[in-house]
């Protein structure tokens, strides 16, 4: 009789990277479809080109460097979709393609692939596009949650992600409920942003947009670029919120503020983690 | 103990002929027991066959009557070989005269437990746990270890459990006791609370399942006192016992029967899953055979639960005192996932009961930086296996942690215990010049 011998545990929960990514992609797909309703079929082209470019870049890199293909885990797909959602609807189609190539090749794979990236690939790609072709990627409209229906479908959205705050909110709460993302970063980010905006007397209808919820639930909780310690995640969320309000109050653009805040917070996340190592329960010394 | 031929107590109607038991001379943490018998001797059920006078030693008793046919190294459930006594049954089921006691005094309980060799599931003899210099005022019965609960906490055992607990309270002069139950186990809590009447025994419901390696953590969660991993729960004034050990204490003190039989829950790919009362030393193969045999080809045999149990090399290993569950997995149930890269999702950090960073320790262990593992408190790990269980990347975190610990034990000494800064009150400038050593800034002098 041949018996398998291994270390415990001999069972697994069954949640894989692909499971987590798939549920994130489901939210992104829902938002893309709503954006199609608002802006028309040009959105689908944008999302498809971006996703396809991301997937092809990842496949090409892994083929060339003779690694195992990991397209199935859904990370490249989600990066591509996120880049598309960060862009306004009228951009030429080579913009998302270049952005996806930059995000997957230079931000993700140049640093070691899945889980090794320093910055969120989607945000870094957006920053790159914004710095290089600011006139093309700039948004013509600023979202404003003026009435209740704007929470469900914001017709004045400039970028695709701004069309529906409620989808990101419901999806994010679902992800937290399933423990696919952590609750600490979203809660401290959202609460600190709202409180700080109220303190400096900002009009909340410009602060709480679809982009804020996209940032809070999907972009800021990107696992590799946020600290893993429990206290560190609170501080990281707080930092994101503070930076969002600072940038937003200076530039009067809370949409771009979310992205730059997360981009800067990514850079200090290892520092936050290093300084918030937890105390194990058996450490007696006070 | 005088050996007398008592009346034949038949616990099983159909005692098989030529049944063999393999009783390892080491079921505890201390040194190996000295055998008290020779090959070809005839032994009775309940006769002492192994002696060990070490603090952590536990005596060993024969679980069937028959004659000794060998004394050799045999497979042990801890995936090694240990010297074992092989006894072949003569089918007579003759026992020694078990001395039962009514209302034993504290000294009587102490002596009986010292002689009985009951081992707590974490490997320490129960006598050694009781015999502490610290003041123990609370007895906790841990009914959250799933395999222990599955096999030992049947409804008919509850009254025995409570009486065993009272014996432990008497032996340790404890003034109160508590039964620890998982909060999802409600019907069990009501069954126990109906068996309690007064007696300073309460029920505490907790959110975690505590394995025998997590007793310090359980004491911390109940009393709020942090205990170093070099100390025992006695530091916080509590003694923790499993359901198995409590039942064994009850049997040993009140009925005089040493631990020769254990309850084993058999589950998985077998014919009739259920609980069996089995003699110590029976091979897993026989236990599985009498539970209906294998269904299909077995691929993995696991002792004591899927989360932190040991996978067995062969099914010839004997049932020992700490065996409470045997799980058989078929080929498609065996987890064979390839580990992927860590995505730093922190699921392991969120679930870790001892507040360490399993992901970071695992990645440092993977690249051989055991010094960093030591800095990240790898010794605090209680090996519950939850980090590994929830990992979406299938990284073998527990294995890497164990690997780092073994490597550290081989290469470094365990770092000295940190001293509490509370004690460092003085500047020590008076202490240094005093050549008589009369002044000490430590200890409040």
* C-alpha to C-alpha distance for B57 and B65, rounded to whole angstroms: 24
Do A223 and B388 count as a contact with CB atoms less than 8 A apart?
no
Q: How far is B236 from chain A (nearest CA, A)?
A: 12
Question: How, if at all, do strands B310-311 and B42-43 pair?
Answer: unpaired
Report the pLDDT value the prediction gives residue B416, as an integer from 0 to 100: 61
Span B73-89, mean pLDDT? 90
**Domain B106-255 in CATH: superfamily?**
NADH-ubiquinone oxidoreductase 51kDa subunit (3.40.50.11540)
Span A35-59, mean pLDDT? 94
Which pLDDT band, with edges at 50, 70 and 90, does B426 fall under?
A: low
pLDDT, tens digit, for every residue of A63-80? 999 999 999 999 999 999
Angle in degrees, CA A151, A23, A169, rounded to 5: 20
Report the pLDDT value the prediction gives residue B425, as an integer from 0 to 100: 53
Domain boundaries of chain A, sorted by first residue: 17-273
Least confident window among A187-191, A262-266, B25-29, B58-62: B25-29
Do B341 and A116 count as a contact with CB atoms less than 8 A apart?
yes
**pLDDT of A190 higher than 90:** yes
Do A280 and B315 count as a contact with CB atoms less than 8 A apart?
no
Instruction: Supply the Cα-derived Rg of chain A in whole angstroms.
Output: 19
Interface check for A233 against chain B (CB to CB < 8 A): the answer is yes
**DSSP classification of residue A88:** B
Domain covering A17-273 in this structure, CATH number: 1.10.3430.10
Domain(s) of CATH 3.40.50.11540: residues in chain B: 106-255
Cis peptide, bond prior to residue B360, ω within 30 of zero: no
Domain covering B337-445 in this structure, CATH number: 1.10.1060
Laid out side by side, the sheet with B60-61 consists of B34-35, B48-51, B60-61
Q: Please provide the average confidence, as pLDDT, over all residues in chain B.
A: 86
Please provide the size of chain A in residues: 286
Instruction: Supply the Cα-derived Rg of chain B in whole angstroms.
Output: 24
A 89-148 residues with CB below 8 A of B?
Answer: 113-116
Q: Give contacts of A224 with chain B, Cβ < 8 Å.
A: 343-344
**Residues in contact with B220: Cβ distance below 8 Å, sequence separation at least 6, in sequence order:** A281, A282, B226, B227, B236
* C-alpha to C-alpha distance for A71 and A24, rounded to whole angstroms: 15
Which pLDDT band, with edges at 50, 70 and 90, does B2 fall under?
A: very low
Span A129-155, mean pLDDT? 84
Whose CA is closest to A242, among A225, A220, A257? A257
Q: Please provide the average confidence, as pLDDT, over all residues in chain A.
A: 92
Which pLDDT band, with edges at 50, 70 and 90, does B185 fall under?
A: confident
Q: How far is A254 from chain B (nearest CA, A)?
A: 28
Q: Which of B297, B339, B341 is most worth mutating to test chain A (most A CB atoms within 10 A of its CB)?
A: B341
CB pairs below 8 Å between A and B: how many?
173
Do A1 and B314 count as a contact with CB atoms less than 8 A apart?
yes
Question: How, if at all, do strands B176-182 and B201-206 pair?
Answer: parallel
In this complex, the residue of B226, B359, B383 whose CB is nearest that of residue A281 is B226
Interface check for B54 against chain A (CB to CB < 8 A): the answer is no
**pLDDT of B241 higher than 70:** yes
B 313-332 residues with CB below 8 A of A?
Answer: 313-315, 327, 329
Do B341 and A277 count as a contact with CB atoms less than 8 A apart?
no
Span A89-110, mean pLDDT? 94
**Residues in contact with B53: Cβ distance below 8 Å, sequence separation at least 6, in sequence order:** none
With residues binned 3-state (H G I as helix, E B as strand, rest as coil), the percentages for chain B, rounded to 5, are 30, 20, 45
Report the pLDDT value the prediction gives residue B91, as an integer from 0 to 100: 82
Interface check for B396 against chain A (CB to CB < 8 A): the answer is yes
């Amino acid at each position: 009789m041949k018996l398998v011998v291994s270390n415990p545990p001999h069972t697994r929960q069954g949640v894989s990277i692909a499971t987590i990514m798939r549920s994130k992609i489901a939210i992104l797909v829902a938002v893309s479809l709503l954006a199609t309703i608002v802006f028309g079929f040009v959105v689908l082209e944008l999302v498809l080109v971006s996703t396809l470019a991301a997937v092809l870049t990842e496949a090409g890199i892994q083929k060339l460097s003779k690694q195992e293909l990991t397209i199935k885990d859904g990370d490249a797909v989600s990066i591509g979709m996120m880049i598309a959602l960060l862009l306004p609807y009228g951009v030429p189609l080579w913009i998302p393609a270049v952005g996806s190539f930059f995000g997957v090749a230079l931000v993700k794979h140049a640093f070691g692939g899945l889980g090794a990236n320093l910055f969120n690939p989607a945000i870094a790609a957006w920053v790159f596009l914004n710095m290089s072709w600011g006139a093309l990627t700039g948004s013509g409209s600023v979202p404003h949650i003026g009435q209740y229906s704007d929470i469900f479908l914001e017709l004045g959205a400039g970028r695709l992600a701004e069309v529906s705050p409620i989808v990101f909110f419901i999806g994010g709460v679902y992800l937290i409920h399933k423990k696919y993302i952590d609750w600490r970063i979203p809660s401290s980010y959202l609460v600190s942003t709202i409180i700080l905006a109220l303190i400096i007397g900002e009009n909340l209808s410009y602060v709480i947009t679809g982009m804020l919820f996209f940032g809070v639930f999907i972009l800021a909780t990107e696992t590799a670029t946020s600290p893993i310690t429990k206290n560190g995640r609170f501080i990281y969320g707080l930092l994101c919120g503070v930076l969002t309000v600072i940038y937003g109050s200076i530039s009067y653009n809370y949409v771009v503020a979310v992205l730059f805040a997360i981009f800067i917070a990514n850079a200090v996340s290892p520092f936050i983690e290093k300084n918030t190592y937890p105390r194990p329960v058996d450490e007696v010394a006070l | 103990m005088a050996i007398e031929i008592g009346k034949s107590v038949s616990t099983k109607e159909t005692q098989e002929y030529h049944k063999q038991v393999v009783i390892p001379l080491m079921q505890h943490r201390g040194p190996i027991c000295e055998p008290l018998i020779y090959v070809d001797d005839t032994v009775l059920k309940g006769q002492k066959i192994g002696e060990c006078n070490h603090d952590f030693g536990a005596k060993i008793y024969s679980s069937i009557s028959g004659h000794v046919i060998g004394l050799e190294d045999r497979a042990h459930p801890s995936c090694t070989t240990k010297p074992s006594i092989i006894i072949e049954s003569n089918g007579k089921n003759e026992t020694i005269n078990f001395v039962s006691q009514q209302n034993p005094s504290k000294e009587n309980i102490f002596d009986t437990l010292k002689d009985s060799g009951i081992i707590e599931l974490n490997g320490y003899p129960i006598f050694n746990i009781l015999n502490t210099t610290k003041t123990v005022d609370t007895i906790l019965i841990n009914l959250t270890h799933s395999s222990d609960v599955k096999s030992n906490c049947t409804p008919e055992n509850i009254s025995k459990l409570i009486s065993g607990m009272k014996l432990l309270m008497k032996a340790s002069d404890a003034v109160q006791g508590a039964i620890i139950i998982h909060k999802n186990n409600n019907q069990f809590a009501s069954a126990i609370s109906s068996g309690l009447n007064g007696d300073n025994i309460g029920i505490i419901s907790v959110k975690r399942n505590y394995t025998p390696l997590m007793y310090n953590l359980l004491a911390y969660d109940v009393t709020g006192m942090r205990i170093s991993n070099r100390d025992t729960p006695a530091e916080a004034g509590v003694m923790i016992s499993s359901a198995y050990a409590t039942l064994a204490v009850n049997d040993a003190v009140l009925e005089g029967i040493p631990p020769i039989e254990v309850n084993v829950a058999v589950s998985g790919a077998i014919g009739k899953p259920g609980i069996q009362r089995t003699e110590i030393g029976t091979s897993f193969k026989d236990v599985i055979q009498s539970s209906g045999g294998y269904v299909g080809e077995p691929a993995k045999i696991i002792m004591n639960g899927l989360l932190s149990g040991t996978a067995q090399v062969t099914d010839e290993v004997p049932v020992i005192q700490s065996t409470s569950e045997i799980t058989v997995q078929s080929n498609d149930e065996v987890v064979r996932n390839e580990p992927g890269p860590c995505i730093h999702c922190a699921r392991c950090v969120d679930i870790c009961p001892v507040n360490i960073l399993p992901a970071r320790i695992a990645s440092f262990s993977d690249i051989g930086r055991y010094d960093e593992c030591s800095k990240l408190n790898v010794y605090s790990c209680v090996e519950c296996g939850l980090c590994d269980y929830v990992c979406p990347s299938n990284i073998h975190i527990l294995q890497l942690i164990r690997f780092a610990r073994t490597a550290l034990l081989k290469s470094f000494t365990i770092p000295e215990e940190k001293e509490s800064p509370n004690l460092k009150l003085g500047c020590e400038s008076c202490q240094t010049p005093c050549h008589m050593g009369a002044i000490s800034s430590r200890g409040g002098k």
